[in-house]
Amino acid sequence: MTKTKISRRDFTLSGVAAAATLAAPSVITAQSRTIRLGYVSATSGQRASFGVSDNWMVEQIARHLSGGVEIDGAQYDVEILARDNQSSFNRSAAIGSELILREGVDLLLLQDGDATVAIGEMSDINGVPTMTTMIPWQAWMFPRGSTPDQGFPWNFNFFWGVGDAMSTFTRIWDQVDTNRIVGDFYLDNPAGLAFANPDIGLPKFMDMAGYSRVPGGIYKFETDDFSAQVSAFRDADAQIVTGYGTPPNWTTFWNQAAQGGYSPEVCSFAGAFLFPEAINALGDRGDGMSTEVWWTPDMPFASSLTGQSARDIAEAWRTDTGRQWVQTMGYSHAPFEIGLQAVKIGGKDPAAIRDAMSQLTLDTMVGPVDFAGSPIRSVARTELAGGQWRTSSGAFEYELVVTENTLAPSVPVASQTVALSQL
């Protein structure tokens, strides 16, 4: 019986263990009947919330693949080399070098925005097919100097675009009676800069939708003083706050807003409101935060790999961990669906895997993924809804309620967005 090979070392590399692993000699034994998948995500560091379900998901995938996969009538083992990039760009580059040059992976799956930028060039140079997600396609494409008509030779990305999130935000705001004045500020990273871009980001969509802007600038992750933004937004009577950042960034801002007497009616801060732990950390002041919705158990999608529905995955996570589902779960699962489908078509030939990816159309855990019909080379756009966190009468303190589904018509709307002062 063939089996998936996966070790504890593959799950976590940090501190001394990481240094020892990178320093140790590596001998790759030719295994013509083994498919080696490199999987990179952030399970520690400042973006650890984005990878909270990753180790669990890799275990589920490994268990499902314990019998291997069939390619052209032959049975192949699947070896998953999962790596934690510790939310570090430099660490991502080191991991990319390890997986490509030392481990000789057949395919890279990158579920982290910074990892895609750090490793993408490396995989293109070395001819390693690479599938990425969890980064808007503009933030994935433009920093590396490409364009929608060019794409990349070995890199592919499936996710929604900056404009999709921006237009979803303005439609959320349209549901609330405000003075249409918006204060915005953004984290200084690829996704944050894409959101802040005046030509493709929130400023453009705010203007198109008839909202006035009070710019709060770009900030570093380490920033612990948002008093300038609080004062500017309060003095301009900005009844809406938006932008991009991590949960700790928002928590600091939100606490200082309370201290400064600033009480907006709508808060839609991309990134920060994705996860229940971040909302729970705000206490009573987490009620009513609105966010982009990538994936929910209510989506009518199923895995092309395991046959599980979105609800099945969420319930399995809750049973195993006792924790509330997280939006990134669908995007931890789907890379394996897409990657293995390409491998089943292309085998161990890198160019054949790449060509299979470029022509792939697949119904996945996150919905339809269509590279073949995409007008953006190397990109498949996925569905995106909008929602609001509300206090729950169930097992968890808050639940995410879908309030806007223009770009995700398959996701049912459960409620209208409600002003914070009305909650």
The helix or strand, by DSSP H or E, that contains position 230, with its residue range, turns out to be helix 227-235
Q: How far apart are CA 293 and CA 383, in angstroms?
A: 9
Domain 162-296+384-422, CATH homologous superfamily name and number: Response regulator (3.40.50.2300)
Q: Report percent pLDDT > 70 for the chain.
A: 92
Quick one: residue 45, left, alpha or beta (phi over 0 = left, psi -120 to 50 = alpha)? left
Asked if 192 and 245 touch (Cβ cutoff 8 Å), the reply is: yes
Please report the DSSP string for 136-182 in residue order.
-HHHHHGGGT--TTT--SSEEEES--HHHHHHHHHHHHHTS----EE
pLDDT tier, 23 (very low <50, low <70, confident <90, very high otherwise): very low
CA angle 169, 173, 175 (to 5 degrees): 125
The H-or-E segment that residue 215 falls in is strand 212-219
Residue 177 binned pLDDT confidence (cut-offs 50, 70, 90): very high
For the chain, the average pLDDT equals 90
Q: What span, in angstroms and rounded, lies between the C-alpha atoms of 36 and 104?
A: 8
pLDDT at 32: 60
Q: What is the CA radius of gyration of the chain?
A: 21
Strand partners, 155: 130
pLDDT in tens, 249-264: 999 999 999 999 999 9
At 94, the pLDDT band (50, 70, 90 cuts) reads very high
Alpha-carbon distances, residue 405 vs 172, 330, 343, 415, 422 (angstroms): 10, 18, 33, 11, 22
Same fold, 8-161+297-380 and 162-296+384-422: yes
What does the chain come to in residues? 423
CA distances for 168 relative to 165, 291, 384, 386, 403, angstroms: 5, 9, 8, 6, 10
Closest CA to 184 of 275, 174, 170, 171: 170
Model's pTM, two decimal places? Answer: 0.87
pLDDT tens-place string over residues 35-92: 999 999 999 988 888 999 999 999 999 999 999 999 999 999 999 999 999 999 899 9
Q: Which two tokens stand for residue 113?
A: 């925005």
Average the pLDDT over each of 106-115, 173-182, 345-354 and give the range with the smallest value.
106-115
Sign of CA dihedral 287, 293, 295, 301: positive
DSSP label at 302?
Answer: B
Residue extents of the structural domains in the chain = 8-161+297-380, 162-296+384-422
Phi–psi pair at 355, nearest 5 degrees: -65, -35
CATH placement of domain 8-161+297-380? 3.40.50.2300
